[in-house]
Structure 1
Amino acid sequence: MSISGVHVTQAQSPQPHSSEQAPLPPHYYYQQPQDDEIDLRELFAALWQGKWTIIACTALCTILAIAYALLAQEKWTSTAVIAKPQPSKLSEYQTQVSEYQPIFDVYQQDGTVLVSHKLDDFSQPQTLFDIFMQEFDARSNKKRYLEHSRLFKMALADLKTDKGSELTSDDTAKLYSEWYKKLSSKLVDSKQTKGPYILTAESITAEDSFEFLKGYVDSINKRSQKIALDNLRSAVSAKKNELLQQRNILTDQAENRLQVEKETTQYALDIAKSAGVKTPVQNLGANEVFAIYLGANALAAKITALNQLKNLSIIEPRLQQTAAKLSLLTHLNIDNNVKFEVKQYLEEPEKPINRTAPKRSLIAVLGLLLGGMIGIGVVFIRFSFKKN
């Protein structure tokens, strides 16, 4: 362009060189190089270089684990499986219970008998088995057994030696609580509520665990039998007291009726004498308060008979039934030596073959794995510090 003879050349905008980078599309990012990435080859090389560290940690932990497994106190568990007794094992006891059945039955005047079911549960196998399980789990029974147990006395003496002074009540209570857990029971099938049950006892040797369980089961068996007999004795005693009270009430009622009958007859005799009625008269009403129609002679004889009456069951027949039941009670005795079972063994207690704890092979393997993990961890940490 020329202005006043002067030529001016218009500046051209610079063109981009072909060698310059082309514009980037939107949302595009450079992938930055990752300096902190771990090369697997470097990692394995580091593990190889630290192999002696890994071996040392593994060996140390394995040795410690084996030492613990060998030195830790052993625990042996003896078991037994029990269920309710078979009826054939209760025959003598059931016979004894049935002997008292007539005392509880009710004999009516028309000859019918109302059979009582008061004693039915006493000889049921499930009832006796429930008594055994309640006594087995009772802490009071466990404590009573432990007080005479050789094993518990040894544990008590060891605790006293370790403490170096007299045991406090808290120390003793804690030891009892620990030993209560050594005697336990659980259902074979948790879905059932009536058994069978698994009984377990723990101790430091196989022989001791067997002795511990069998001794406790035998003691509970005897105690349960005694409770069953005591329950029967208690029911019979309560029935006897009831019959004695019933006899006293019926006797009072009979004596009162006899006295009323004497007075009524005496009044009738006085009236008959005044009326001059000596022999029975049919025309007089039999429903009158005073039986004048019998005549003075009959009324006098009746008074004589009433005065001589000694057997009150003539007036109150129920007295005879009550007296018969009380008489039966005097001839029956509960035999404390009767033989019967309150449970049956499905599996009797035996000496365990394998210890419950410690699991030495498992402890050794876990020690080996733990040592290897610790060794690898140490190598990784060392490698990370060197890399950074």
Structure 2
Amino acid sequence: MSARHAQPHSGPSNEPDLLHLLLALWQGRITILICATLAAVLAAGYLWFDKPRWTASALITLPGDADMAGYTSLTNILTPVIASKVVNNAMDEKKPVSNGDIKEMNFSRAMAMLDAQGPGIVGFKAEAQDKEMPWPVKISVSADDAQSAARELDSVLMATDMQLRQAVKEELNYLIDTRITQLNTFISAQETVAEEKKADRLNNLKQALLVAREANVAQLSVQQVSTLNNDALFVLGSDALSAMIDNERSRPLQLSDSYYQLRQELLELKTFRQQPFQYSAFSYIVKPTVPLQPDDRRSALLIVLALLAGVITGAAITIARKGLQHALSQQTQLA
């Protein structure tokens, strides 16, 4: 009977119940508090030394008509082949070039240039705001303070615009020089042909004059002269032929309408080279502005997580210490 009553108290339990666990945690509350405080201090120190980042943004889209005034006016002057090369970069493509095509092409070039610079710019992001359209695009840049972020973003966009403007200007100058060379060649060829025609006409009149004198034809001997060929010009008479030869030498060259169109295009291209070049590959919907608040680092959440980690660490230390004390107590009793 005494053995049955003593059996429930034959040895201590190896696993403390909930009451013992809570008691152990209460006894180790100082340790838990120290760990939680230390974790919070470390988190606060991290937030203090890790300065917040500031992000400035701008919203850009296709250039406007005023931004592309110099560019589009040139493509209107150039021939379709050259204008096609400006847009399509292929001399053999002669499809019509619209104002929208020119804007999209230049905006794509600006975005490609920005993307190429992106890896070297802190916090650079370029995000299209429309899933179905490649524009408008939000450009973002980060820095240690708000003013620096806005200046950096403005500098990046301005540098891109200026660099692209210079590249486009050099390309257009090359195309203009090429076209001017072509026009001069075409104009010179037409003038040469016109001079040869004039010389040939003068020789035919001289030959007709010799025939008229040999045939003693001094006066006009026919009524209809509009259908006369070179061999029959002598019928005009030596008097008329002599006057025609004298006037032929001073008569201006007979040039076609295409000649004067080429001269007009040449003059327009030369005038364009002397004018200020207006160009911008994009326009602003929202210009770079100073950000009003830093990037969200979730400081409060970090402090809470640090306190939670400190409490857990302190509890683990307390339980481990109690467990060690319990094990040492058992060894002492057994000894």
| TM-score bracket, shorter-length normalisation | 0.5 to 0.7
Larger mean CA deviation between 66-75 and 356-365 belongs to 356-365
SS at match of 2:231: coil
Please say which structure displays the higher CA radius of gyration.
1
Given the superposition, is the C-alpha separation of residues 182 and 195 from structure 1 closer, same or farther in structure 2, using an over 3 Å criterion? same
| Letter of the 1:185 counterpart | A
Please show how residues 331-346 of structure 1 align to structure 2 within 5 Å. 334-336=274-276, 343-346=282-285
Q: Is the 8 A contact 2:205 2:244 kept in 1?
A: yes
1:307 matched to 2:249? The reply is yes
Q: Is the 8 A contact 2:209 2:234 kept in 1?
A: no
- Counterpart in 1 of 2:69? 94
- Counterpart in 1 of 2:7? none
In the TM superposition, what is the alpha-carbon distance from 1:341 to its structure 2 partner? 6.3
- Counterpart in 2 of 1:367? 306
In the TM superposition, what is the alpha-carbon distance from 1:134 to its structure 2 partner? 4.4
In the TM superposition, what is the alpha-carbon distance from 1:255 to its structure 2 partner? 2.6
Q: Find the aligned partners of 2:292 and 2:224 in 1 and give their Cα distance.
A: 101
1:352 matched to 2:296? The reply is no
Q: Find the aligned partners of 2:102 and 2:31 in 1 and give their Cα distance.
A: 70
Q: Find the aligned partners of 2:241 and 2:15 in 1 and give their Cα distance.
A: 132
Q: Find the aligned partners of 1:291 and 1:320 in 2 and give their Cα distance.
A: 33
In the TM superposition, what is the alpha-carbon distance from 1:180 to its structure 2 partner? 2.2
- Counterpart in 1 of 2:87? none
Of 41, 45, 48, the match for 1:67: 45
Of 121, 130, 133, the match for 1:180: 121
Q: Is the 8 A contact 1:73 1:204 kept in 2?
A: yes
In the TM superposition, what is the alpha-carbon distance from 1:247 to its structure 2 partner? 0.6
- Counterpart in 2 of 1:154? none
Given the superposition, is the C-alpha separation of residues 353 and 308 from structure 1 closer, same or farther in structure 2, using an over 3 Å criterion? closer
- Counterpart in 1 of 2:200? 260
1:211 matched to 2:186? The reply is no
| Letter of the 1:201 counterpart | V
Count of residues in Structure 1 that have an aligned counterpart in Structure 2: 300
**CA deviations over 1:227-285 (Å, ceiling 9, x no partner):** 66666655544433332121122122223333333444444444555555554557999
SS at match of 1:199: strand
Given the superposition, is the C-alpha separation of residues 285 and 251 from structure 1 closer, same or farther in structure 2, using an over 3 Å criterion? closer
Q: Is the 8 A contact 2:122 2:143 kept in 1?
A: no
Q: Find the aligned partners of 1:239 and 1:119 in 2 and give their Cα distance.
A: 18
1:79 matched to 2:57? The reply is yes
| Letter of the 2:290 counterpart | K
| Letter of the 1:290 counterpart | D
Structure 2: gaps of 5 or more residues: 1-12, 81-93, 331-335
Q: Is the 8 A contact 2:121 2:141 kept in 1?
A: no
Q: Find the aligned partners of 1:351 and 1:39 in 2 and give their Cα distance.
A: 60
| Letter of the 1:307 counterpart | R
Q: Is the 8 A contact 1:265 1:290 kept in 2?
A: no
Q: Find the aligned partners of 2:273 and 2:61 in 1 and give their Cα distance.
A: 30
Q: Find the aligned partners of 2:46 and 2:224 in 1 and give their Cα distance.
A: 115
SS at match of 1:323: helix
In the TM superposition, what is the alpha-carbon distance from 1:78 to its structure 2 partner? 1.6
- Counterpart in 2 of 1:290? 231
Q: Is the 8 A contact 1:277 1:292 kept in 2?
A: no
Structure 1: gaps of 5 or more residues: 1-34, 106-115, 143-176
Please show how residues 132-151 of structure 1 align to structure 2 within 5 Å. 132-139=110-117
In the TM superposition, what is the alpha-carbon distance from 1:369 to its structure 2 partner? 2.7
Q: Find the aligned partners of 1:199 and 1:99 in 2 and give their Cα distance.
A: 30
Which structure dedicates a bigger proportion of its chain to helix?
2
Q: Find the aligned partners of 1:51 and 1:275 in 2 and give their Cα distance.
A: 141
| Percent identity of equivalent pairs | 21
In the TM superposition, what is the alpha-carbon distance from 1:209 to its structure 2 partner? 1.6
| Letter of the 1:255 counterpart | E
- Counterpart in 1 of 2:188? 248
Given the superposition, is the C-alpha separation of residues 223 and 358 from structure 1 closer, same or farther in structure 2, using an over 3 Å criterion? same
Given the superposition, is the C-alpha separation of residues 284 and 59 from structure 1 closer, same or farther in structure 2, using an over 3 Å criterion? closer
Given the superposition, is the C-alpha separation of residues 214 and 331 from structure 1 closer, same or farther in structure 2, using an over 3 Å criterion? closer
What is the CA RMSD across the aligned residues, in angstroms?
A: 4.6
| Letter of the 1:351 counterpart | V
Q: Is the 8 A contact 2:59 2:136 kept in 1?
A: yes
Q: Find the aligned partners of 1:129 and 1:345 in 2 and give their Cα distance.
A: 12
Q: Find the aligned partners of 1:79 and 1:212 in 2 and give their Cα distance.
A: 10
TM-score (norm 2): 0.66
In the TM superposition, what is the alpha-carbon distance from 1:356 to its structure 2 partner? 2.1
SS at match of 2:183: helix
Q: Is the 8 A contact 1:258 1:315 kept in 2?
A: no
